[in-house]
Structure 1
Amino acid sequence: MLDTLTPTYTARFDENSQELSLIGSMRPQHEADMAKCLQVLEQSLRLVRGTLYINVKRLVRVNNIAFRILAAALVNAATERPDLKIKIITSSVVGWSTKKFGVLSAVNANLIIEEYDNEFYPGQTFVENSDFIHVLRTQTKMTWRHERSILPRHGLKPGMKVADICSGIGDFAVLMQKEFNPSRIVALDHSKSSLAYARGVAEEFGISGIEYVYGDASEMLLEDNQFDFVTCRHALQVFDRPELILKELFRICKPGGRVYVTNEKNSHCLGEPHGESIQWTYTEVAKLWHHFNMDIECGPKSRRLLQDSGFDKIQMESFMVTNLDGDPQDFADIIESWKNLFAGDMAKQRGDSPEFIERFKRGFDDHIFAALHPKGYAGWPIWVASGRKPL
């Protein structure tokens, strides 16, 4: 690992992944201020074969001097090493980066621009559907009945500095703000439409003080060791590389603080009557998510994922959201939305046959029937895990 730190940015090369990461604010006043960065780039070029990755996802600022010097060095490298591809990884979170670095691809075909978010968030387009928002609120309302008592067991106390990562439409951050009165709370999400809705939710509840941040959960523009308690709910299961999210959650958490995650194992959804039909459908849901590089079976794996990411003192438990948690129609509404999403857009994109989709829908309908039946029972299990960042 080559690592050079200047007062405002870091240039770091990882030989194993052949990736040069540029992090921070690159605003030199003179060409000499770029010498260390160019030195790391030159060393990187000597060590790589095939493809060199230039990661600028957390490069928050680049002035004209820096860009001119960096661009010239990359163009020269691509010209002198025709055997080498140089792939510049940008992010939509840092809005200018794709456009600014994109001009280089027109200069040399071996300079390739890739906007990372498009590949990393395979389920983003599904969950951003505005029709799904009211369902997300219902889900949070039903899980909060359980989580408001679970959170203190996992370390959340009044007055803490809290971050809700992958905050979605923001209702969970609002509930934590009202119940636990944190000294600071940040809600970060990658969806601009969700954040816009979240601000409306906070206004509706008369809640102030929540810092809404647009950001990439795998490359957050938040400083190290900031938060006493970090939440990330129903999110690891949506990403194709959850270990990158956990690495960032670990980084922003204070030593001695805790990271709290919730995830599902959808094949364990259940109901009676018509239990066999329900079981078949939710087993197929897991296969469908796997097709889109998402893992809705992630829940019981949470303990291992936290351990592998460096956390200790791990706590884990599960709870069952059921049709008996308040109004059974709320539960039925959630399942109806799942049917529309899973047996609708997702199944069609996978290319499923009409016969399969018809059987697929039947299991959701039977789950709704179980939820609304006067003698029925319907359940949706959630796994909760938290880990401490070692002191």
Structure 2
Amino acid sequence: MIAEKMTQAFQWTYNENDQEFSLHGSLRPQRADELSNCISALEQSVSNVSGMFYVNVRRLVRMNNVAFHALGCKILDLVRTRTDLKVHVTTSSVVGWATRKFAVLETMSDKITVSEYDNEFYPGQSFVEDSAFIHVLRTQTKLTWRHEKDLLAKHGLKPGMQVADICCGIGDFAVLLQKEFAPDRLVALDHSRASLDYARRVASDFGVRGIDYVFGDAADMLLEDNQFDFVTCRHSLQVFDRPERILKELFRICKPGGRVYVTNEKNSHCLGEPRGESIQWTYTEVAKLWHHFDMDIEIGPKSRRLLIEGGFEDVSIGSFMVTNTDGNPQDFADVIESWKKLFADTMATQRGDDEAFKEKFAKGFDDHIFAALHPKGYAGWPIWVASGRKPL
């Protein structure tokens, strides 16, 4: 591994095992010769490489034309003089200009390829960012908050802390955190611009100030190390096909001694009576459906292992059951109705399921709604809560 800090704002690293040269921070030289050390490191890194060489600019937040010209010319020079070499540049849609700039290199050589990291990392992103799902997410938060506001305190959240809510979605949970716990600083980050726009409107409508809504990639955040006393990430590890990468970033931004708090589901444990058998069958199928799209809605009880393997200590885990008795049963029924539309219609159709299967699949959701609204019925949705402390 080669690693050298050029200025406080800019770094480069080389991972020999992955043949990947990564750039971090802000790259804004006045003259090309200011990059001579970096270019030399790039040349040294590639000298023993054959085949594919990776240039990673996902965490390069700024780059002026002087820097791009110097780096771009060097990459073109490498592929033109080395017949055995190809270069792949990885950008991030979080930094929108990066893909536009580096895509130019693809037009200049068929040995250079460019891709946006985010597009392939989030297999279920199009489902969870559906704007029609926003009102459902608010209802879900309303149902879980009555449990979580007490659990957050038990897991170590106190007023006056530096707090980050990662994968904040539509921002309603961050608003509740701000009102209930009055953090000294609250950063709410998400990868969906539409969700963040909605979050800002909600905060404004409710007169809530002090939340810094940030567009960012949860697996590669442009946030500095060791910033936050308490980091939350709710119902999100289950959406990513590599949750350990998210946890690595949560660990990185958490202060030593601080805690990371995650919530996730085990959907096959959703239950209801009457019509329990139909309900159980459908939610077992939900787990299989998510697996098809490389997501794991069964991850809840796995959270303890994931946190321990991620380097956390003093790991605490538990669960609570959201039910039709938590306030208005219609709220619970509305959430299930939205799940039916998303799972038994949109996702099942994309998987290629036939109409007979989708009809049976949808019936389990209808039966769960029946149980929720029945005067003698019971319907439950289990949530696992876990947190771990970053070692001092």
- Pairs within 5 Å for 1:224-373: 224-373=225-374
SS of 2:291's equivalent in the other structure is helix
CA displacement at 1:59 relative to structure 2: 0.2
- CA–CA distance in structure 1, aligned partners of residues 15 and 391 of structure 2: 25
The answer to whether the Cα contact below 8 Å between 1:343 and 1:357 also exists between their aligned partners in 2 is yes
Contact 1:15–1:47 at 8 Å: present in 2 too? no
Partner of 1:289, secondary structure, is: helix
3-state DSSP of counterpart to 2:47:
helix
> Hey, what's the Cα distance between the residues in 2 that align with 1:381 and 1:130?
25
Partner of 1:29: 30
Distance 2:222 2:384 in 1: 28
Distance 1:50 1:313 in 2: 44
* Structure 1 segments unaligned to the other structure (5+ residues): none
Give the superposition deviation at 1:286. Answer: 0.7
Cα distance, 1:32 vs. partner? 2.7
Tell me by how many angstroms 1:276 deviates: 1.1
Letter in 2 for 1:52: F
Offset at residue 81 of structure 1 (A): 2.6
1:121 deviation in Å?
Answer: 1.3
Instruction: State the match for 1:151 in structure 2.
Output: 152
Alignment partner of 1:384: what SS? strand
Counterpart CA distance in 2 for 1:142 and 1:326 is 8
Question: Does 1:4 find its partner at 2:4?
Answer: yes
In the other structure, the counterpart of 1:200 is 201
SS at match of 1:176: helix
Letter in 2 for 1:326: G
**Corresponding residue for residue 39 of structure 1:** 40
Work out the CA distance in 2 between the residues paired with 1:234 and 1:221.
Answer: 21
Preserved contact between residue 161 and residue 226 of structure 1 (Cα < 8 Å): yes
Instruction: Show CA shifts across 1:79-105 (max 9, x none).
Output: 223333211111111010000000000
Q: Give the C-alpha shift of residue 116 in structure 1.
A: 1.1
- The aligned residue for residue 67 of structure 2 is 66
Of stretches 105-114 and 39-48 in structure 1, the one that deviates more from structure 2 is 39-48
What is the RMSD computed on CA atoms of the aligned residues? 1.0
Residue 95 of structure 2 corresponds to: 94
Say which is worse superposed, 117-126 or 140-149, in terms of deviation: 117-126
* Distance (whole Å) between structure 2 residues aligned to residue 235 and residue 9 of structure 1: 30
Task: String of CA shifts for 1:122-167, please: whole Å, max 9, x gaps.
Answer: 1111122221100000000000010000001111000001000000
Residue of structure 2 in register with 1:13 after alignment:
14
| 8 Å Cα contact 1:4/1:36 also seen in 2 | no
- Determine if contact 1:311/1:388 at 8 Å carries over to the other structure: yes
Query: Once the two structures are superposed, what CA deviation does each residue of 1:281-324 show, in whole Å capped at 9, x if it has no partner?
Result: 11111111111111111111111111111111111111110111
Question: Residue 56 of structure 2 corresponds to which residue in structure 1?
Answer: 55
Instruction: Report how far residue 42 of structure 1 moved.
Output: 1.6
Deviations 1:333-372 (A, max 9, x none): 0000000000111111110011110110011111111111
Structure 2 residue runs of 5 or longer lacking an equivalent are none
Indicate the larger mover: 3-12 or 163-172: 3-12
Distance (whole Å) between structure 2 residues aligned to residue 196 and residue 35 of structure 1: 41
* In the alignment, structure 1 residue 105 sits paired with structure 2 residue 117: no
Which amino acid counterpart does residue 314 of structure 1 have in structure 2? V
The C-alpha deviation readout for 1:44-100, integer Å capped at 9, x for no partner, is 213334322211111011111211111111111112233332111111110100000
